[in-house]
Amino acid sequence: MPAKTGLISVMERAARKAGVRLRRDFSEVEHLQISKKGPADFVSKADQKAERTIYDELLHARPDWSFLMEEGGEILGDEDSPRWIIDPLDGTSNFLHAIPHFAISIAVQERRLDGKGWGDVIAAMVYQPLTDESFWAEKSRGAWLGERRLRVSGRKNLNEALLATGTPYKGHGDFKEWHKIFDEFGPKVAGIRRFGAASLDLAWLAAGRYDGFWESGLQPWDTAAGCLIVREAGGFVTDFKGRSPVICDDQLLASTDMLHSRLHKMLVNALRSQ
């Protein structure tokens, strides 16, 4: 294992500090399920407090850097410096319903060399507070779970593949598109899971727990870290047209090196039938 750089150490320290707070708040939200008021307002505050904790830690470590955050929006720093992309609580609905599946996602994105916008994601961290699992990657240095090197699964057959997805829900997503893809994939694979936290889905894909993942209508903070972790674990990440933007969010198909081409062809065929 390569020694963790200072950048990864900073990210992990921020994630773990926020994770302590989220673990404590999660134990409280379980009790709030029985109250008449319900836990929604409490969870919103937990989300905001976690983001503030991460923001304060990262700002202290890199005071000139920019931020893109789910709750706090964009905060611009020095024009030549990278930015942090932060989701302090990916899987909010799970947290709200006391389902123990959520994560903190942090990524670092450099500015383009020509100064026009943002370029490569160079570092990523997805931290699951309840299991204390820290998935991380740096560009060209591999992907890791703690001190263990990650590699996408080597499964070659679709009938052995386990896929993950994010399903549309009220006010979010394209039901028709999703059903077309599901109807194409479902009969040919070993199973499809919807656990409700895209960053963890991608981290689990990198760890070989899943063999593929698709979703549309996401945001950069949902996927920036996960895209790098999958790629550094040997997987492929594209949009539905087969292009490979640095951050796939509006359309995302991620899979292993063995299966991505076949899954992409199936997805294209499904969408052509619309």
CA angle (84, 195, 223) in 5-degree steps: 20
Pick 191 or 37 by higher pLDDT: 191
What pTM was estimated for this model as a whole? 0.94
pLDDT exceeds cutoff 50 at 37: no
**Quick check: is 92 in a domain?**
yes
Whether residue 114 sits in one domain with residue 164: no
Total domain count, the chain: 2
Whether residue 253 sits in one domain with residue 143: no
Whether residue 87 sits in one domain with residue 202: no
Q: What is the mean pLDDT of the chain?
A: 93
The single-letter code of the amino acid at 244 is: S
The pLDDT-based confidence of 4 (bands split at 50, 70, 90) is: confident
Whether residue 87 sits in one domain with residue 203: no
**Quick check: is 1 in a domain?**
no
Whether residue 12 sits in one domain with residue 145: yes
Whether residue 114 sits in one domain with residue 14: yes
pLDDT exceeds cutoff 90 at 180: yes
Q: What percent of the chain has pLDDT over 70?
A: 94
**Quick check: is 85 in a domain?**
yes
Q: Looking at 89, 117, 149, which one is the last position of a domain?
A: 149
Average pLDDT over residues 82-102: 94
Compute φ and ψ for 193, nearest 5 degrees.
-120, 145
Pick 164 or 44 by higher pLDDT: 164
Pick 274 or 272 by higher pLDDT: 272
Give 165-169's long-range contacts (Cβ < 8 A, gap of 24+).
165/192, 165/193, 165/194, 165/213, 165/214, 165/215, 166/194, 166/196, 166/198, 166/201, 166/215, 166/218, 167/194, 168/217
- Please tell me the distance from the alpha carbon of residue 225 to that of residue 204, in angstroms, as a whole number: 12
**Quick check: is 138 in a domain?**
yes
What is the model's pLDDT at position 127? 98
Q: Looking at 149, 168, 197, which one is the last position of a domain?
A: 149
The pLDDT-based confidence of 98 (bands split at 50, 70, 90) is: confident
Whether residue 66 sits in one domain with residue 34: yes
Whether residue 132 sits in one domain with residue 23: yes
Whether residue 252 sits in one domain with residue 202: yes
Whether residue 251 sits in one domain with residue 164: yes
Give the CATH number for residue 197: 3.40.190.80
Written in H, E and C, the secondary structure of 197-244 is CHHHHHHHHHCCCCCEEEEECCCHHHHHHHHHHHHHCCCEEECCCCCC
Whether residue 142 sits in one domain with residue 162: no
Residue ranges making up the domain that contains 169: 158-272
Give the CATH number for residue 107: 3.30.540.10
Beta-bridged to residue 105, according to DSSP, are 87, 126
What is the model's pLDDT at position 198? 97
Whether residue 121 sits in one domain with residue 16: yes
**Quick check: is 256 in a domain?**
yes
